[in-house]
């Protein structure tokens, strides 16, 4: 990550922390994000572009800061090895709606930085989410559509949030 990208990522993380800290909601629960896996729909194109890495280890945190009826609101921040084998940093906030059982759907807005995406420039992206809350862990799934300049291959990402307070 170049110096200006690292500075932009640090500013984005600081801004998110400021928003969260100034919110009236009390911290409800903290989790550990363990990243992950990805699947690229156009595997040949992903390989040709050098973005075919499907094992994406990394760590992050999730703060579930509010629940209102069937909605839960959260903030995430973390780093992981992306599909191009570069370090990606992200920070974002989102909401999940409880459908039934542990099944949830929602969306997040994330600030991301990686040399792999958007020509290495920090960017903001909306992310659709599907989650399955199993109690001590939540399985999370997102879709990164193919969008020129940002992401050359449509991809699904998977990670797990571990909830130590539930063990």
For the chain, the structural domain boundaries read 3-166
d(CA 108, CA 91): 10
d(CA 85, CA 96): 29
Structure tokens given for 57: 């280890």
Q: Could you tell me which of 122, 124, 121, 56 has the C-alpha nearest to residue 84? A: 56
3-state secondary structure of 143: strand
* Residue 93 DSSP symbol: E
Q: How many CA atoms lie within 13 Å of 47's alpha carbon, on the beta-carbon side?
A: 3
d(CA 115, CA 71): 34
pLDDT at 51: 93
d(CA 141, CA 38): 9
d(CA 119, CA 44): 21
Tracing tokens 């800290």 back to the chain, one arrives at 21
pLDDT at 115: 92
pLDDT at 150: 73
Asked whether the predicted pLDDT for residue 37 surpasses 90, the reply is: yes
**59 DSSP β-pair partners:** 34, 79
Q: pLDDT averaged over the chain?
A: 88
Asked whether the predicted pLDDT for residue 146 surpasses 70, the reply is: yes
Q: Could you tell me which of 92, 147, 156 has the C-alpha nearest to residue 124? A: 92
Model pLDDT for residues 74-112, shown as the tens digit of each residue: 999 999 999 999 999 999 999 999 999 999 999 999 999
> Which CATH architecture is the domain 3-166 placed in?
Beta Barrel (2.40)
């Amino acid at each position: 990550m170049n110096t200006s990208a690292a500075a932009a990522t640090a500013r984005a993380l600081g801004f998110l922390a400021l928003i969260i800290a100034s919110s009236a909601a009390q911290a409800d629960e903290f989790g550990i994000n363990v990243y992950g896996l990805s699947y690229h729909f156009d595997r040949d194109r992903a390989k040709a572009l050098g973005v075919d890495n499907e094992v994406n280890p990394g760590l992050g945190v999730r703060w579930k800061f509010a629940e209102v009826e069937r909605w839960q609101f959260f903030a995430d921040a973390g780093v992981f090895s992306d599909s191009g084998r570069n370090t990606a940093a992200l920070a974002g906030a989102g909401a999940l709606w409880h459908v039934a059982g542990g099944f949830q759907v929602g969306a997040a807005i994330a600030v991301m930085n990686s040399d792999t995406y958007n020509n290495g420039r920090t960017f903001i992206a909306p992310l659709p989410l599907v989650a399955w809350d199993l109690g001590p862990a939540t399985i999370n799934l997102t879709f990164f559509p193919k969008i020129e300049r940002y992401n050359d291959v449509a991809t699904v990402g998977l990670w797990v949030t571990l909830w130590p307070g539930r063990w």
